[in-house]
Each structure stands twice: as structure tokens, then as C-alpha cells.
Structure 1
Amino acid sequence: MGRGVYHWGSLAVQERVGVRDAAEHVGRSIGTGIRDVAAAFLGLQPHLVVGAADGAGRVWASLLTGAPGFVRATGPDRIAVAGGLPQGDPLAEALATAGTRVGTIALDPRTRRRMRLNGTVEVTGRGFAVHAERVFSNCPKYLQKRQPLDRAAEGAGVVWRGDVLTPDQERAVRAADTFFVATTAEADGADGADGAGGVDASHRGGLPGFVEVSSPGELTWPDYAGNAMFLTLGNLAADPRAGLLFPDWESGALLQLSGRAETEFGAGGERRVRFRVESVVESLHPGRLRWSVPEYSPHLGSTTT
């Protein structure tokens, strides 16, 4: 069963860490159908994280926002998203192109619930749809609890681009307690006959400072013990391209990084991911949602692997 759910990259990491049995069990939760409870959850969400590759092959993670109901299940294996990404977002063109492989994650800070849906894009008259290939929920580990406050006024957006972090952006990364990571397994034959490849979007959480900035072009973070699937690290074993999204929850600003990452395995089961920045987009878009200060996850008191 594991061969159909995990590609060789995830299997290799699971074997190295010694969690194949656990991964086999957890992998049974991955399906292609959207259950009623998942459909109801999606309909309540004010935002959706989407990961994909742009036209140049760079992988990014982006954030779509809207009134609850802008994301909804329209069938047993299809979701529709009204609207699109703000002007200037690096994935705007990719999400307007039929057949783009995407990974999505709907995360609700109000309830510490999340679900992931990966598939391919269909362009629609109101936005786009995703035909699901993999659907599953995750445990609430390392999710911070927040409450929505308001939406910023409409108006012109601001987009800044660079190829390394500025000092202010470095401070924002060090202060982050949450970020999202998009990865892909489409290189090196990982997207094989077992159908376990494609793009994935995942969440990482920790206390402020858990992401370290080594230089304006490099940062690292610890890989905490999770669900034993190792989808993100498995993808990185197959294809080092990755995209990071750092939301500033209180202002609504977004910091997007695209680059390459690798996993470093240390003694005692410790793992760290090292990310090298290749492109940076910082934006402040109208209509962005602002959230309260966090109530940190109780799991963050025991984050050893």
C-alpha cells in the first residue's frame, strides 16, 4: 500500500528515520475524495495557501483570501476557488493555466484544523478549480490559535522584489511563528506510475526564532516530529526546489521566498532543513485579512524529534 501513497523520496526518509510502519498506517488517510465534513470545513475558510511552479520553474507558495465560501467543494473530487491571486503575485499566471499541478492547504487558526488537497488546475469563469488527486487532514500539532480582526481597506497594492532578504525581512523571518512550504516531486522521475508525485503545500510552526537566518541568502529551521509521512522532506529528496510563505498575521503583509532546500540529518534523530534564497517577493495587498496575536500551540513545549 505504501508504494501507492509515497514516492521513493518519502520512502527513503521514512526508512532512514525508522517510521515506515507508522507511515504505512497514517498513509491510509490519504484519498482522492472530499468527504462531507471536509467540504463543510472548506466552505468556512477565509483563505487558502497554494503551492505551484511558475513559468520559469521556480516553486512558490501563495495566499488567496476571500469571504467564507470563496473556496467550496463542487463534487466528490473537485474544489472551486472564486477569484484569483492579487496582481504581482508570482503564481498568478500559473493558476490561470489549465493543467498546472498545485498543492493546497486550508488552515483555520480559529480552530487549529487543517486539510490538504493536491491536484491539477482547471480554469473557470469565476477563477479556477482543482481536480483532487490527494486529499487528507492533519493533526493540529504546532498550529497557533488566532482570531480574525478585520480586512484592510481596498486600494492599490504594493509589491517589492529582490534576490536576497533585506534587514527588515530578516527580522520578520526571525519573528515568525508560522510559515508555509511548497515542494514538488516532479523532477528525477519521482512522479512515477504510483501517482504519488506532484506539488504539496505544508505548514511549519514554532516559537518565534525557530527559523534562523544565517545570511541574507540562507535560512534554516528544525524539522519537528510530526505525522511520519515525510511528504515535504521526501519531495526535497527528489527535487530541491521549494517556496516559502511567511504571513505577517497582524498586518496582513506577505513575504514569499523561492529557492532550493536540503535536509541535514544529525545525531540522535535531529533534522534541519537548509534553504537557499533565489528570489524574494514582499507584498501588501488590499483586502488582506488581519489576525490577533497568537495563542501558541501546547505542543511547542516538546518539539524534540
Structure 2
Amino acid sequence: MDDTLFHPGERMVQERTGERAIALLNGRNISAHIPAAASNFVAQQRWCVIGAADEGGSVSASLLTGEPGFVQTVDELAGLRMALDDPHDHLRVAAPIGTLEAGQSIAVLLIDLQTRRRLRVNGHVASVSANLLDVTVGQAFPVCPRYIQKREPEFDSPDTAWPPALPVAGSALDGAVAKWITAADTLFIASLGPSGEADVSHRGGRPGFVQIVGNVLRIPDYNGNSMFNTLGNLAVDSRCGLVMPNEDGVHQLQLNGRARVCFDVLDEAESTGGTRRWIEFTLESWRISPLNRPLRWRLIEASPFNP
């Protein structure tokens, strides 16, 4: 089994949890190219999540939306191409999209809420312009459907929310932001490996699964694929960013800060699903910004895996 796929932080968490053998088994799904069977899946998506560090070193996650086909596989499955179509000229307000540079590490998560399929792609920016983003694939792998709430897009909603309000930012969790967080059943977290390699992953649960304690968010770490990409990254670099879509389908809440992994926590309410692990995210700043295109979803079914 190839253990070079995992860096020291990931291996440390795998060993501590006793799940190293499972991680090595699941690691066989990691490829240096987009799986051929996923090419059509990529082209069908209406949105994706981008993870990267900005020019100041802060790690951010952003939502990017478009019509099906705005993301395509290129270079015989060795790359992704994204059309940065922004009819409302708001794309550049959503860090880190506006600060990307060629050669920079980047992570892309493609996720279909209707089928609960997702594909993670980590690599580097090949080129970026006002209209196109090309990504060279370093690693690509499908991820299990657990904790994804099933949703379907709503196409008949009138586009009356545009233009949205200007971005709002702060450094403390006020009432409106706290309400947004505690109502969420989905979030995405971007992190960095020991060499600065970006990663972005999905977290889901029942509304309220994220707990707020002062300026700290507690995010439970449920059982997953045992590779511990996010937890392994946080073990070596505490910088990370979160993003949560809003129910209105127009705005996203981006949070930047630092996080640590807590093991063997006291969990009498079993909020971690039995793992007794959570991520403690300490907020440094938050920002509410509009999506480049509105994307509204209707909840069909909560994940049957939610604790």
C-alpha cells in the first residue's frame, strides 16, 4: 500500500484514531487525474467550492456558481477549466477568487446535492484571467455521500434579489451571523497541508450541529473515510476558512480564522456521533458576500447518516 499519499499530519491522526489501515485502503481511490467516469459528472454541476490562501496568507473557502458546463475537464482529464462568468460583476468580492495567481495551490470540491455525489480535486492554478480559471490536477478522488442533505435546485424563483447588498464584514459573532451559523446544516472548510497545499472538504449535520462558544465554533468530526485530510492539515497548520451558503440562494458567509483538533472530548450529548472529536475554530474575521449567480435549493431529505 502506498503511504506517500499522506503527509505527517494525516498519518498522525490516522494512527491516533486507529484508522490507518482503512485510510490506506481508501487511499487507493486517489488519482493524479480526474476519473474518466467523473467527466460527465463534472460538466453537469452548477456550483463548486474553491479553497486557497489569499495574498495575505489567510485561508478562505468560496462558492462559485454557473450554468451546467461552466466546469469542464481538459488536458485528457489532467485539468479543470472553469468559466468565470459573472453577469452581476460581483465575483471578485468573494475571496480567494479575486487573488488567485498562476502556480498557486488550489482545491476544488464539486458536489451534487441531488445525488449526494462529490469529487475533490487538489492541484495548482495553471492560469487565471477575468473569464477563465485553469487548474492542473494533483490529486482527485470521489468521496462518500455521508452527511450530505439531499436538495434539488429551484429554477422558477424570480431574480428579484439582485443587485444584492454590498458585502458586510466583522470580527465578532453578532446575532445575525450567529443565527446563520446555528441554522446551517452544511458548511465547507478549506485548510493547508505542510507544504501549503490547499484542500477543501464538506461538513454536514442537522441544523445546530455547529456549536458557538463565544467567538469559537465547535464543528463535530463524524466518522468518514478515515483519511483525515482536513484534520491532518490542521495538525500542521492551524489556518483555515469556512463558507456557508444562505437559504436565500444569493449570499455566502465566509469565516477566516485558526482551528485545532480536539480528541477525546467530553460529549455527553453525543453530538460527535460517537467519535469524541471536534474542530475548534477560533474566528478572526467574517464576511457576507453575494454569490456570482443566485442558486436556490429546496431541501428534499436530511442525510440518514446524521447523528
Q: TM-score, normalised by structure 2?
A: 0.90
CA shift at 1:252, angstroms? 2.8
1:185-264 matched pairs, under 5 angstroms? 185=193, 190-191=194-195, 198-215=197-214, 217-264=215-262
CA shift at 1:275, angstroms? 0.3
What residue is the counterpart of 2:84 in the other structure?
83
Maintained 8 Å contact 2:149/2:299: no
Counterparts in 2 of 1:278 and 1:142: CA distance versus 1, 3 Å: same
Maintained 8 Å contact 1:17/1:269: no
Supply the distance in 2 between the matched residues of 1:168 and 1:269 (Cα, whole angstroms).
Answer: 30
Maintained 8 Å contact 1:157/1:286: no
What residue is the counterpart of 1:22 in the other structure?
22
Maintained 8 Å contact 1:245/1:254: yes
What residue is the counterpart of 2:294 in the other structure?
288
Supply the distance in 2 between the matched residues of 1:165 and 1:53 (Cα, whole angstroms).
Answer: 23
What residue is the counterpart of 2:166 in the other structure?
158
Supply the distance in 1 between the matched residues of 2:36 and 2:19 (Cα, whole angstroms).
Answer: 31
Supply the distance in 2 between the matched residues of 1:158 and 1:294 (Cα, whole angstroms).
Answer: 31
Counterparts in 2 of 1:296 and 1:8: CA distance versus 1, 3 Å: same
CA shift at 1:155, angstroms? 3.0
1:94 aligns with 2:120: no
Letter paired with 1:23 = A
Alignment equivalent of 1:177, drawn from 168, 179, 185: 185
What residue is the counterpart of 1:116 in the other structure?
120
What residue is the counterpart of 1:194 in the other structure?
none
Supply the distance in 1 between the matched residues of 2:281 and 2:234 (Cα, whole angstroms).
Answer: 11
Supply the distance in 1 between the matched residues of 2:117 and 2:275 (Cα, whole angstroms).
Answer: 27
What residue is the counterpart of 1:139 in the other structure?
144
What residue is the counterpart of 2:62 in the other structure?
62
Supply the distance in 2 between the matched residues of 1:87 and 1:117 (Cα, whole angstroms).
Answer: 22
CA shift at 1:36, angstroms? 2.3
Supply the distance in 1 between the matched residues of 2:47 and 2:124 (Cα, whole angstroms).
Answer: 19
Higher mean C-alpha deviation, range 122-131 or range 72-81: 122-131
**What are structure 2's unaligned runs of at least 5 residues?**
266-273
Higher mean C-alpha deviation, range 262-271 or range 70-79: 262-271
Supply the distance in 2 between the matched residues of 1:292 and 1:270 (Cα, whole angstroms).
Answer: 32
CA shift at 1:250, angstroms? 3.9
Percent sequence identity is: 39
What residue is the counterpart of 1:44 in the other structure?
44
Supply the distance in 2 between the matched residues of 1:265 and 1:212 (Cα, whole angstroms).
Answer: 16
What residue is the counterpart of 2:268 in the other structure?
none
Deviations 1:127-174 (A, max 9, x none): 111000000000100000001013635535521111122211101100
Supply the distance in 2 between the matched residues of 1:236 and 1:100 (Cα, whole angstroms).
Answer: 19
Counterparts in 2 of 1:237 and 1:124: CA distance versus 1, 3 Å: closer
Letter paired with 1:102 = I
Counterparts in 2 of 1:86 and 1:157: CA distance versus 1, 3 Å: farther
Maintained 8 Å contact 1:52/1:94: no
What count of residue pairs does the alignment treat as equivalent?
290
Maintained 8 Å contact 2:65/2:291: no
Supply the distance in 1 between the matched residues of 2:2 and 2:276 (Cα, whole angstroms).
Answer: 24
CA shift at 1:2, angstroms? 4.2
Supply the distance in 1 between the matched residues of 2:262 and 2:53 (Cα, whole angstroms).
Answer: 24
What residue is the counterpart of 1:148 in the other structure?
153
Supply the distance in 1 between the matched residues of 2:301 and 2:103 (Cα, whole angstroms).
Answer: 39
Deviations 1:259-303 (A, max 9, x none): 000011116741011000111110234621111134100111xx4
What residue is the counterpart of 2:4 in the other structure?
4
Counterparts in 2 of 1:87 and 1:33: CA distance versus 1, 3 Å: closer
Higher mean C-alpha deviation, range 261-270 or range 151-160: 151-160
Supply the distance in 2 between the matched residues of 1:245 and 1:156 (Cα, whole angstroms).
Answer: 18
Counterparts in 2 of 1:144 and 1:245: CA distance versus 1, 3 Å: same
**What are structure 1's unaligned runs of at least 5 residues?**
192-196
CA shift at 1:87, angstroms? 2.9
Higher mean C-alpha deviation, range 280-289 or range 164-173: 280-289
What residue is the counterpart of 2:31 in the other structure?
31
Q: TM-score, normalised by structure 1?
A: 0.90
